[in-house]
Structure 1
Amino acid sequence: MSRSTTPPAAAESLRGLCGGAVHLPGDPGYDMASSPWNLQVHHHPAAVAYPASPTEVADVLRAASKAGLQVAPQGTGHGAAPLDGHLGESVILHTAGLSELSIDVENRRARVGAGVLWGDLTEAAGRDGLVGLHPSAPDVGVVGYSISGGIGWYARKLGLQCHGITALEVVLADGSIVRATADQEPELFWGLRGGGMPLGVVTALEFDLYPLETVVAGFLAWDRAQMDQVLPAWTQWCTTAPEEATTSLRLLTVPPMPQIPTELHWRNLVLIDGAVLGSDSEVAEILAPLRALKPEFDTVRRVPAETLVRMHLEPEGPTPGYASSRLMSGMPDDAIAAILDIAGPDAVDGPDITEFRHLGGALHRPNDGAALASLDGEFLVLGFGLRLDPAEWDHSRELAVRMLDTLRPWQTGREYLPMLDDRIDTRKAFPPGVHARLSALRAAVDPDRLFVGPHL
């Protein structure tokens, strides 16, 4: 796709906003400003603006509306893939400059601006023995992750991160700045807790933290040749594992990352990682059935809680890749057989990475104060295509999709929006009544559809 170097005439009216931090096509900083975290995605927006305050956000919204342009708020750009090719008449409103971060130790609460990353928040909270319900990568934005759902390493015990939100600062389409809580703008508060619809620009949010200085966490690893033993054993273990245990199982070829032991580099492995809350003796008893499978590597031990944000060994910094997911009602023997056929030790040309995250526990208990009240299913299966060579991107994506499609018979039919690089109809993510309520809310706060969302 060719890149235009001439800004739409309407976008010229944005020049001078945000103290001059506005980039139009042809400007020296435009290419870098419009590039999201996922380097497979190439946005060509009408403009990119970097506001440094809610007031500057409001100025951009008013100017974009007057110019007949839409607005796409973006933090890190982790969820940018569904918007690929849809932003030619839009302004990317980049929130990196909204960097407020404070920890209320007494009330165990954080307040963060939309530019704060989880690595920064985790480090700040960890100094006071507190932890948030963070994701498995430190360079994910706190706000985007939080308002979309948020499955972390304590999810089966403590639930979704969106349920821990206590207040949001939001700039609405008309430029008004509001505070949304359970008592103030309650409908907006409900919709921004996991609703996945573009309702406004969240410039800051407040959420609960938890007193946790250390936790037992790490990974167990086996050669892929043992997959036919490890996968069914783990799925069986998951049926009785207590809520204190949140784990995932991955099938992958280990990349040569410096934080990974060199003897694992390029190995085809089955890897179980996660965290277990409890005393050392309680955790040892919980993990005993998995350790009985005699993993080749066992790094599980008590560690500072703040280190878990990097435990999953996900790539940090802009990376080309594809990632999508499906919710599964279970993994019976037929499903396991299908997985072994595509990604087992004898499979040819299997997906780059397949991951299964164990759900249940607190994730099944509904929170009526959030649009995403709970998560359907027992597992979330993720298919990844992670290759540096652009010539291999389409093929690696096809392999990931093949795995997800093969598991269709055991899927719930619901979707988890934050982990979807494919653009879908949001009616697949919520029960009919919830979706109708979200649609009515969007019509009320953004009647002219100023904001463009990643999904339909």
Structure 2
Amino acid sequence: MSAQQLRDALGDRIILPGDTEYSTARLPWNLAIDQRPFAVAQPESAEDVVDVVRAAAASGLRVAPQSTGHGAAALADTDLSDVVLVSLSKLRGVTVHPEAQHATVLGGSVWNDVVEAAAPYGMTALHGSAGDVGVVGYALSGGLSFYARARGLAVNSVRAAQIVTADGRIVRATPHDEPDLFWAVRGGSGAFGIVVSLELDLLAIADVFAGMLLWDASRASEVAHAWAAWTTDAPESASTSLRVMHFPPMPELPPFLSGRSVVVIDGAILETDAAASALLAPLRALEPELDTFARMPASALVQVHMDPPEPAPAFSAGAMLASFPPEAVDAWVVAATSTPVLFIAEVRHAGGAAARRPEGAGAIGSVDGEYLLAGIAMVPAPELAEPALAAAHAAVAAMAPWHAPALALTFIDGGVDRALGFGASRERLQQLKGQWDPADVFAAGQPVG
């Protein structure tokens, strides 16, 4: 099928390279990735998705689903010259079922959609640290939230998925209906189809004790050692992260960040105010220049981590750490404070419920390792792409002696062996991929092969 035949089949639901809209429709949230697919589709319904998949498959083209493109760097390993990129940005919406404490979430929805819909009912979700991240990609790839140590990975909150499969059918997958597909998509995500809706369990949490502590980066070693020691005894009710962040002098940044390098501890503590304050006392004793930890609406938690509110160019790398002893802290501080580019170095406390695989879990139900390590390098100009990518990988490589044999799929880009992310589930995932998508129609950011 030629490009014109694809246009004839799909009309204005398909955008081709010669179309005016192509230059913007192809752009992911991560603007460092220059993705140039054969075509872009922007479906507004599950039926539109069916039409796109059928037309693409009939023409010998592949299909890549994308909600927001935060994870576009993972898809950068894939040749998109014969791929229809299915942007789900117009397929958004959330329906909350308060009595059952779950929500039905359309495939292009972001976490802000979910937390805003759930808040009036005194509920929230196992959302990411950024509110504009796509729900489907995050949840089905694991999802390590600021509730993770107490409540586990976000993927375990998925109770059903509606998926357009390679043969152009809409399939509902649950523990009882198509259980093999339900197992596979909870970890295999976009490799098995386009998820047009999810049903997610919600948390009966109306407000939470959360916030951040901030110091100048000159105190990075002191703060990092204190946090690492603190986490060894922290209860599972506390999910926090440690970051060194380098900011350029930009007028749109608040004065306490513009042109500065800072060290930050942030997160959430599922305790009473008194218990949470007592728990934080050793860290507050370091006299941060900014302390925002307090009781807040659960819907405000997506603001705490200060993720960029608009599309931005960046490269990242990640790993899981088995431990974070003093010598590892020293190595991390050197890597975090010596980078020549705009950089964020993060260690997030994992373990707890995030490391325990619950009964009935899918391909991914837990993540091994006590800490998550991430390096994120911003790319303000194209000529900085190569040093940015090198800085992200160097920060992770510096911690190699403490790496755990695992990966959190939501914290890795391309160019890595994803086998550690799928672990013991990989072989079964490959078998099921062969059953559900024998022609390899779907190009996933995290392929199971």
TM-score (norm 1): 0.93
SS of 2:136's partner is helix
- For 1:437 and 1:119, locate their aligned partners in 2 and report how far apart those are by CA, in whole Å: 34
CA shift, 1:92, in A, is 0.5
Q: Does 1:330 align with 2:323?
A: yes
The residue aligned with 2:357 is: 366
- How many residue pairs end up in the alignment? 445
Q: What amino acid does structure 2 have at the position aligned with 1:124?
A: A
Matching of residue 385 in structure 1 with residue 377 in structure 2? yes
Question: Does 162-171 or 407-416 show the bigger shift?
Answer: 407-416
Structure 2 unmatched ranges of 5 or more: none
2:239 aligns to what? 246
- Is 1:263 matched up with 2:256? yes
CA distance in 2, matches of 1:91, 1:332: 46
2:411 is the counterpart of 1:424:
no
Indicate if the aligned counterparts of 1:17 and 1:56 stay in contact, CA closer than 8 A: no
Is the CA contact (8 Å cut-off) linking 1:256 and 1:262 kept in structure 2? Answer: no
**1:16-55 to 2 correspondences below 5 Å:** 16-18=8-10, 20-55=12-47
Aligned to 2:343: 352
CA displacement at 1:326 relative to structure 2: 0.6
Q: Is the Cα contact below 8 Å between 1:197 and 1:442 reproduced in 2?
A: no
**Deviation, structure 1 residue 318:** 1.5
Q: Deviations over 1:245-264 (max 9, x none)?
A: 00000001246688964234
Contact 2:190 2:442 in 1 (8 A): no
Contact kept? 2:237, 2:270, Cα under 8 Å: yes
Q: Deviations over 1:249-299 (max 9, x none)?
A: 000124668896423422211100001011111101111111112212111
Q: Give CA deviations for 1:142-172 in whole Å, capped at 9, x if unaligned.
A: 1121111111111111111110001110111
1:206-251 alpha-carbon deviations (Å, 9 max, x no partner): 0111111111111001111222211111011111101110000000
Question: 1:279 and 1:257 mapped to 2: Cα distance?
Answer: 38
Q: Matched residues in 2 for 1:213 and 1:19: separation?
A: 45
The superposition leaves residues 27-76 of structure 1 with CA deviations (integer Å, 9 ceiling, x where unpaired) of 11111111111111111111111122222211111111111110001111
* Matched letter for residue 86 of structure 1: D
Distance 1:259 1:211 in 2: 36
Residues 214 and 18 of structure 1: CA distance in aligned 2, closer, same or farther (over 3 Å): farther
**Where does residue 450 of structure 1 map in the other structure?**
441
Alignment of 1:400-439 (within 5 A): 400-432=392-424, 434-439=425-430
Counterpart AA for 2:38: A
User: What amino acid is the match of 1:129?
Assistant: G
Partners of 1:83 and 1:193 in 2: CA distance: 18
From 89, 95, 115, the equivalent of 1:96 is: 89
Distance 2:292 2:113 in 1: 25
**Distance in 1 (alpha carbons) for counterparts of 2:135 and 2:8:** 29
**What is the CA-CA distance between 1:427 and the residue it aligns to?**
1.9
Do 1:425 and 1:455's aligned partners in 2 also have CA atoms closer than 8 Å?
no
The match for 1:308 among 286, 301, 318 is: 301
The alpha-carbon deviation at position 17 of structure 1 amounts to: 4.5
Report the alpha carbon displacement of residue 406 of structure 1 after superposing the two structures with TM.
Answer: 0.9
Partners of 1:295 and 1:430 lie apart in 2 by: 39
| Aligned match of 1:4 | none
Is the CA contact (8 Å cut-off) linking 1:11 and 1:67 kept in structure 2?
A: no
Q: Deviations over 1:1-26 (max 9, x none)?
A: xxxxxxxx633322145552211111
TM-score, structure 2 normalization: 0.95
Find the residue that maps to 1:130 and give its secondary structure: coil
Instruction: Indicate if the aligned counterparts of 1:351 and 1:400 stay in contact, CA closer than 8 A.
Output: no
Report the AA paired with residue 269 of structure 2: V
Question: Which amino acid is 2:297 matched to?
Answer: P
